[in-house]
Amino acid sequence: MKTRNTLSMYGMLCVMLLALALPVSAEEAVIHFDHFEVGQTPRGFSTALTGGGGPVSWIIQEDATAPSGGKVLAQTSTDRTD
């Protein structure tokens, strides 16, 4: 019985190692903020607080250095809680 359990454990280990070796595919999502209104949370977005701290604030701001050309999503809350 011990041999069967040992083989089963080795088999399970091999399957796990094989799964880790397989390439993982992840889709990249790019969101351009240029069509959203400055000073507002983008339509369809929602904010949440995980943990402690004050209210959260994420709004669209103008930024000339933005890769897309002019607007970014910025966290603007002043609470320093981590």
Identify which has the larger pLDDT, 29 or 45: 45
pLDDT of res. 24: 66
Of 45, 44, 79, 74, which is closest to residue 59 (Cα–Cα)?
74
Mean pLDDT of 33-52: 87
pLDDT of residue 46: 85
Residue 39 lies in a domain: yes
For the stretch 45-62, pLDDT in tens is 888 887 778 888 899 999
Distance in angstroms (rounded) separating the CA atoms of residues 80 and 77: 8
Has residue 22 been placed in a domain? yes
**Amino acid code (one letter) for 68:** S
The number of folded domains in the chain is 1
Give the tens place of pLDDT for each residue, 5-16: 555 666 676 666
> Is 82 part of any domain?
no
State the pLDDT at residue 30: 80
pLDDT for the residue 62: 94
Give φ, ψ of 29 to 5 degrees. -110, 130
65 domain-assigned? yes
| Segments forming the whole domain that contains residue 38 | 2-75
CA atoms of 50 and 63, how far apart (whole Å): 27
In a domain, 81, yes or no: no
According to the model, what pLDDT value does residue 6 have? 55
